[in-house]
């Protein structure tokens, strides 16, 4: 199995542009005046980002060119950023249990529920595609299937601080990645019948990666989530909460792999096959909902 170790994760190198004071103001406006007024403010925030973030704008255009199959216009870039801003904004309401504001369609969850009861627990592997908060919100309301998320906390520290101020209970089902006991915590949640989710399209510094074909070109994907999945010996499902515009979301769950009975000597081959299957499904959904993939850096890492 060929592995690469990037010198430094590109998404970690980018300076975080979120400003805590602006975020708190946005939360106040949204909760005081409602979602419609809050979305008007988002238009200005998205326009500012598109105008004054040339590097992110360039990488967004490169991605959209692949996903759309045509040249990405300025309007495509704005729509990409506005979709991202919308999912962040909607977290304010989802964390306050305002599910009545949204039309959320769930596809394929029955298989996850059944798998979680059988083993117990199931792993949900997604990407920075759409909204993972919709997944956690629906999971909290689905009897017998609580959801915990493995997350890199550092990159969203300011946003998480603000969101925890909205609802302190929001962070109770988050397992921090990058710690010695991360896998043990994930195992304990699985043993308790949880579905444990992780986003597998970004890596930390010096993480091993494997190139998989993604949007018709090889791209590095982190190996760590898949090693963890194999060691935890659970069925794995692809997950995504696509933002469809307005107040509409569509949650998808699809079987990816099952490491329950994989012999040790076959583990590397099974991991590689699962990673390419994951990249194939990510390609599918990026083409189905191209403005939902929120990686504003050089994902293909041109040398």
For residue 255, give both structure tokens. 């079987």
pLDDT at 16: 45
Neighbours of 118 (CB within 10 A): 11
Among candidate residues 272, 291, 256, 247, the one with its CA nearest the CA of residue 75: 291
pTM for the structure as a whole? 0.88
Answer for the pair 115, 53: CB distance below 8 angstroms, yes or no.
no
Tens of pLDDT along 146-169?
A: 888 887 766 545 556 666 666 666
Q: DSSP label at 168?
A: G
Distance CA 247, CA 90 (A): 9
The whole-number average pLDDT for the span 173-188 is 82
Distance CA 275, CA 282 (A): 10
Q: Which of 32-36, 172-176, 179-183, 238-242 has the highest mean pLDDT?
A: 238-242
Distance CA 265, CA 271 (A): 11
Is pLDDT larger for residue 30 or for residue 25? 30
Neighbours of 92 (CB within 10 A): 22
Tens of pLDDT along 196-229?
A: 998 999 876 677 899 999 999 999 999 988 998 9
Is pLDDT larger for residue 43 or for residue 301? 43
Tens of pLDDT along 190-201?
A: 988 888 998 999
pLDDT at 303: 46
Q: Out of 109-118, 167-176, 263-272, 281-290, which region has the weakest mean confidence (pLDDT)?
A: 167-176
Distance CA 96, CA 173 (A): 15
Integer Rg of the chain from CA: 19
Q: Is the pLDDT of residue 71 over 80?
A: yes
The whole-number average pLDDT for the span 253-261 is 91
Tell me the pLDDT of the chain averaged across its residues.
83
């Amino acid at each position: 199995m060929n592995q690469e170790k990037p010198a430094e994760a590109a998404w970690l190198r980018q300076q975080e542009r979120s400003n805590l004071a602006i975020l708190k103001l946005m939360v106040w406006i949204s909760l005081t005046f409602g979602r419609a007024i809050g979305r008007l403010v988002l238009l200005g925030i998205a326009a500012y980002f598109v105008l004054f973030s040339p590097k992110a704008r360039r990488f967004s255009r490169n991605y959209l060119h692949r996903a759309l199959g045509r040249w990405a216009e300025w309007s495509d870039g704005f729509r990409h950023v506005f979709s991202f801003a919308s999912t962040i904004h909607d977290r304010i309401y989802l964390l306050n249990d305002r599910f009545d504001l949204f039309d959320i369609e769930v596809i394929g969850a029955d298989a996850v529920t059944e798998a979680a009861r059988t083993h117990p627990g199931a792993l949900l592997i997604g990407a920075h595609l759409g909204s993972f908060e919709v997944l956690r919100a629906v999971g909290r309301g689905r009897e017998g299937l609580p959801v915990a998320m493995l997350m890199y906390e550092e990159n969203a520290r300011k946003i998480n601080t603000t969101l925890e101020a909205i609802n302190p209970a929001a962070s109770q089902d988050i397992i921090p990645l990058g710690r010695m006991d991360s896998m043990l915590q994930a195992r304990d949640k699985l043993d308790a019948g949880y579905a444990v989710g992780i986003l597998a399209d970004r890596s930390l510094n010096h993480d091993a990666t494997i190139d998989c074909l993604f949007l018709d070109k090889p791209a590095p994907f982190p190996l760590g989530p898949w090693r963890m999945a194999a060691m935890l010996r659970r069925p794995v499902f692809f997950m995504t909460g696509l933002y469809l515009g307005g107040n509409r979301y569509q949650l998808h769950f699809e079987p990816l792999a099952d490491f329950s009975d994989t012999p040790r000597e076959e583990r590397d081959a099974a991991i590689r096959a699962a990673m390419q299957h994951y990249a194939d499904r990510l390609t599918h959904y990026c083409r189905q909902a191209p403005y939902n993939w929120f990686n504003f850096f050089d994902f293909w890492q041109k040398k």
